[in-house]
Structure formats: structure tokens, C-alpha cells
Amino acid sequence: MLYDIKSVDLENIIIYLRKSRSDDPSMSVEEVLASHERQLQEYSKTMFGEKIPEEHIFREVVSGETIADRPVMKEIMKLLETGMVKAVLVIEPQRLSRGDLEDCGRIVNTFRYTNTLIVTPPKTYNLSDEYDRKFFEMELTRGNDYLEYTKKILNRGRYASVKQGNFIGSIAPYGYKKVKNVSSHSKSYTLEIIPEEADAVKMMYHLYVDEGFGFARIARQLDELGIKPRHASHWSSSALKDMIENPVYIGKIRWNWRKTEKIMVDGQIVKTRPKTKDPSQWIYVDGKHEPIIDEETYNKAIGKRRINVSVRKSKEIVNPFAGLLFCGKCGKAMSYKRTYNRKKDGSKAYCLSMLCNDQAVCKTKSVKYDALEDRVIQVLKDSIADFELKLENDDGNAHKIQMDLIQDLQNTITNLKQKDARQKDAYEDGIYTKQEYAVRNAKVQEEIAEVKKALANAQNTLPPSVDYNEKIIKFTDCLNAFQSPDVSPREKNNLLKACVSKILYYNDGVSKVGIGRHIENKFNIEVTLRL
């Protein structure tokens, strides 16, 4: 167990850098991180006599309140679990977390139970120590309070700016670019028309309002003309629908019509942006930018949307694979389709299939629902058998056994280094000759190299920590549900999401545009299990 930063080797220390709202707003992310890096490297030189190597420096350049939004922090937490890192050097505790209490708890527990030190220039925190832990938690709480206060101030500023007709979004809509207001002394923005994109917007409205095109047909038309969206290879129906409904194209600013909300999904906090149901909460004002579309055309488009929108009689889910099944070729979601065929006797027979949502471009062949379901059922059966075998072989302790081995190897390396240090002291005291020391040192270094190799292998082959009993129960419940005609699609979907995070569908065949003829057996699926 670690108690002193001086006992940690430099190779087991990393630096974590992240910009915060408390930093100088006039400085860029790069400038802030560079400044903090200089301070932490000076600390390292003072403490260890040399700098932390570049490969041990982790820079978080994205803005995110939660761990889920910070990929570098997620990477570090996984690294801590391997035991390879013994100390994390940061400019202040709040850089690790300014999220909610759940995230703060994850940070504390990860550092505490991996015996990893948190090192700041003023103080080193060892969360195995009760007093250090309480002090560190107070620092995180203080940082969270500051975050909430800052968010309130920023929201007030955004509200005032929107009411003045400024554009406060981070990305300008297609047809515009974001520019600073030249007439304002404050840091505010408006939109400026991009002529060639504006022409494409006018074409979209014309095709929709005057020509009666649907969104899929408009998308194909734009793609055929070589008109591309900014951040995709082709247009999608959903993107066009959002554009047609966006009042920014008639010179308006709309804000607060979508609010970011946090919900729990499979035990994880997920951010969503649902439409605000109460229109009285929307802010809808004249913007400072020039319109691309006249109000008459826009109102016709909105009127057509209201007429054409089909409303489900029931919001009850009908697709057990909703939110899980994606096309392996293009990455788009696959939808549940019901098609009808007329028999010779005049009656109708229907067929259920799963079809890629981007048929106009992707053209991946569909698959009959029953064929896909059979394949998924087989995956569930195979997974249960695999869990049972692993439970029988190692009783779920493989992870713990390997972690114990990793700890033993790390202790061996520490002991060998201490042995080498004692031999060096003996040489300096005249106990060993130069030749004797050279032989002994070479032997120790060889042993260290061998142990390090074994350590790297153990870390790279570390199995996940899995409760196989729990997995068997969950997967069995899901299997029974899919094999029963009495279980609703929603319940099947919920049970499947507890076992599976994603299903990718692959089919080398190519269908004609918009048809998606099925192939029952000539397809593959790639299932990502929740472990």
C-alpha cells in the first residue's frame, strides 16, 4: 500500500491535463494545458530529478462534465485497474471530476481500491487514508458547487443573448456560417449566408413544397447532383426533415425547444435532448441574420409536414431489436418492416423483416425477422453455455487470480530494484569491487527485464471481472422471453438490452434501391455482449 510519493518510480506516474471553466477564458485549451504541463513538470524535476516522459502525459481536450463525456479519463481509469499506474499528477483535484456525486464516487473508489496516489503540487492524496479521502471529497464537492453556479450564470447570459437575436449554437446550420457581431462590443455571434449552400436549401424547399418530393427522394436528388452535407457522405431523410422545420431559414432564432436531460439506461446516465412539450417555454425571436426562405414557403412546408406526419395509434414498441440492430456496412439503424403479399385466393399474408434505414445509398439486403431472431437466440444459448463452462472452470475468480499475479510481479520488480540499490551502496562502501558489482548488477537487470516481460503479458491477458452467475440468470431470462409468444416486444427489448449492447448485421448481397429483398441464411451478425 502506498503512502509516500517518493516511493513511486517515475515510470509508474502519469500526468492528467484538462481545461476548466475556472481557467482564464481568454486562453485556449492548448494554452491552458501547456501552462499546467510546465508547472507539473517543474514539480516532477524537483521531486524526482527529471520530467515525466511524453508517453505518460494524458491531455483531455474535449469539454465534458461527466466521465462518460471524457474519453481520456475513461482510459486512465481502465489503466488504473491494471496496476500499471501508481500516481496521477494533476494541477488540482477538481480536474479529475466536477460531475455529479455518482461520478465523484467512481473517481474516489477507483483511486482508493487501486492504491493510486493523487498528486498535486501543494498536496498528495492517498485515498486509503480516511483523512486524505475526506479532504479530497470536500475538494470535489466544492468543485461541483462551483460548476452548478457557473452553469446558472452561463444560462442567464445565453438567455439574454438569444433575446437580442444572437446565435448561440456551437455549429451553424447548413446554409450559414457563424460570425462575430461587428456592431457589438460583447462576444456575441450571428449567422452569415453561404451562397452555394443557400441555393441548396432553396432547392430542398422547392422540391418538397412545389414538386411534392418526399425526403428520401430529395436526398437521392441532392446526392445525384453532387450536393453534399457538411459532415456526411450523403443526405438522410432525418437531416432534411429537421432542416425543413427549422425557422432559422426565415430569419428566426429558436432556443430552449430542446432541453438536455439525464436519464438512466441500463444503470448508466445517458444524456437526451427531447423536444420541450410546452411551446410557452420556447424562445422564438427575430434573429440578426438574413433569411434564406420566405415565410410563405416555410408555412406551406410546415403545413404539409403536419398533414403527412403519421401518428402511431400506440407508442408501444413493436421491434424487440430497437436501439440494438445496426447495418454493419453503413452503420445506420435497421428498422422493423411489415410487408404484405396477396395469395391466389385473394387473402393477404404478411412478412416481417429487418431493413437498413439507408436503403437508398447502402442497398444492403434485408433479412426476415424470424431468421434474425433464430440467430440471436443461438447467440444467447452459446453465451449461456460459455458462462457455465467458465464458472465451472474458475468459479469466476480468473480476474482476481490474475490481479494477484500482477501484484506479485510488481512487488518482485520493487524488491529487485531495492536489491540493486543495496548492491550499489555496497560497491560505494567498498564491499564489492567494480567487477563484482558489474556482474551482480547485470544479473539483477536481467531478472528485472524478465519479470517486466511477464508483467506485461499478465496485464495484456487480464480477463474481465465477470459475475458469471448473474450473467447466466440474465441471459436465461432473455432466452426464455424470446422463445415465448406471450412476452411483449418491449419486455424482450428490455431483457435483450441487459445482455447485449449492439448487433451488427452483414450481408454481402446488394439489393435494388428501395426494395431490400431478403436473404434468409446468407448473412452474418456480430453481437457485442455486456460483460
**Which of 135-144, 422-431, 507-516 is the most confident on average?**
422-431
Half-sphere exposure of 398 (CA within 13 A, CB side): 18
pTM for the whole thing?
A: 0.44
Max mean pLDDT among 100-104, 430-434, 513-517 falls in 430-434
Given this model, what pLDDT does residue 504 score?
94
Q: CA 226, CA 238: separation in Å to the nearest integer?
A: 19
104 secondary structure, DSSP code: H
Cell of 393: 472452470
153 pLDDT above the threshold of 60: no
Report the mean per-residue pLDDT for the chain: 82
Are 336 and 318 spatial neighbours (Cβ–Cβ below 8 Å)? yes
Strands 87-89 and 13-18: parallel
Would you place residue 71 in the very low, low, confident or very high pLDDT band (cuts 50, 70, 90)?
confident
Tell whether the model's pLDDT for residue 126 goes beyond 60. yes
Question: According to the model, what pLDDT value does residue 143 have?
Answer: 54
pLDDT at site 260: 60
Extended strands (E) in 236-347: 252-255, 261-265, 268-272, 283-286, 325-327, 334-342
User: pLDDT tens for residues 436-446?
Assistant: 889 999 999 99
Which residue type, as a one-letter code, is found at position 105? G
pLDDT score of 101: 65
Q: Which of 266, 260, 259, 269 lies closest to 68, judged by CA?
A: 269
Q: Which of 79-88, 263-272, 464-473, 505-514 has the lowest mean pLDDT?
A: 263-272
Mean pLDDT for 258-287 is: 64
Fold of 5-152: Rossmann fold (3.40.50)
Whether pLDDT at 269 is above 60? no
Question: What is the DSSP code (8-state) at residue 333?
Answer: B
In this model, does residue 274 exceed pLDDT 50?
yes
pLDDT of residue 511 exceeding 50, the answer is no
Q: Report domain extents, the chain.
A: 5-152, 176-251+287-308, 316-396+466-531, 398-460
Section 220-233 average pLDDT: 88
3-state secondary structure of 483: coil
Question: Minimum mean pLDDT among 85-89, 311-315, 525-529: which range?
Answer: 311-315
Pick the CATH number of 176-251+287-308 from 3.50.50.60, 3.90.1750.20, 3.40.50.12240, 3.40.640.10: 3.90.1750.20
Q: What is the pLDDT of residue 447?
A: 92
